[in-house]
Amino acid sequence: MALQIGIEERNGKPKKYLSLRTGRICETSNKEEPGFLPAFTENQAGKKTEFFAKEHRALTAYIDNLSWYEKTLDNGTVLKGWQLLLNVGDPDFDYIFSISEKERPFHHFMSSLANCDLAEPIKFLAFKDEHDRKKLYLYQAEGEKPPTIKPKYPERWLNSALLQKLREMAKPGNQIKLTDDEKSQLAYGADGKMLGIMKYDEVEGQLSDTGYPYIVQKADGKWNWDAWTEFLKQKVTQDVIPAIKEAAAQRLKEGAKYLATAAPKNVPDDPFGNLPDSADEPVEDIIPF
């Protein structure tokens, strides 16, 4: 029997690449293709980048792998984020879903993924909210109005005023008391005592002491995400990725022809009832909520 001519992909399947570039899960191209519509993004300086996009309202898949990527562009820009290898039940393609660390849902995604049953399919739903801000929610339940997967680790914000008040409270003989609202913004240990601020060592690239990774407001009014970002990345690396690999290995071991069609049904595509039809991307501000 004669050999068949053709090019084989490394794993036998070509790949489709997905991102949140338009605010929804989408494929993008620099040239016009069937099913792709004109779209653009706009950076903080107001510069627009035009391209073509094919948007999807949602996808449901097994996660077969998760890895961190870093890529330096010709202009020196460094792109970082997570890449998910997804099985959506398509016999012809593998799907690579990228979530940049610059994306508004980046932290919410990591914390929510840590609460998922990684041996089961996950539904990914992306849209823009009433403020035109990107959102990404995960689902694993069925029903008419199933709940989203909640983040495993709560965000704690310390603004400059509360930080100054805590500094004053640390001085001997102070009579300063926190309000109930201020207390609710703090993290506490098992002994009921407030947890201190976890530091991020930029030189070593790691968390340098114990405490809680508060998101702290700096003197210039901007928010410092370093400790929070590193904390979540460590949790994903240490806990989530091994669980994903174990579940994927088990599926292969069992020889199951697993398909995403067995995933949750009736998950609402638009929990707020206001998914925009536009592919515009707003200028990102500092706080992603």
Q: Give per-residue pLDDT as tens, 44-89.
A: 788 888 999 999 989 999 999 999 999 888 888 888 999 999 999 8
Residue 205 sits in the same domain as residue 127: no
Task: Tally the domains of the chain.
Answer: 2
Residue 125 has pLDDT above 80, yes or no: yes
Domain membership of residue 181 as a residue range: 157-227
Last residue of a domain, one of 227, 245, 272: 227
- The answer to whether 105 and 136 have CB atoms below 8 angstroms apart is yes
- The answer to whether 275 and 128 have CB atoms below 8 angstroms apart is yes
Q: Specify the pTM.
A: 0.80
Q: What is the pLDDT of residue 261?
A: 43
Strand partners, 85: 65, 96
Last residue of a domain, one of 172, 203, 227: 227
Please report whether residue 80 resides in a domain: yes
Residue 95 sits in the same domain as residue 169: no
- The answer to whether 211 and 198 have CB atoms below 8 angstroms apart is yes
* CA distances to 8, 224, 289 from 139, in Å: 35, 29, 20
Q: Per residue in 186-232, pLDDT tens?
A: 999 889 888 989 888 877 777 887 889 999 998 888 999 999 999 99
Residue 66 sits in the same domain as residue 95: yes
Q: Per residue in 32-48, pLDDT tens?
A: 999 999 999 887 788 88
The secondary structure of residue 41, as a DSSP letter, is E
Q: How many helices (H) and strands (E) does the chain have?
A: 5, 14
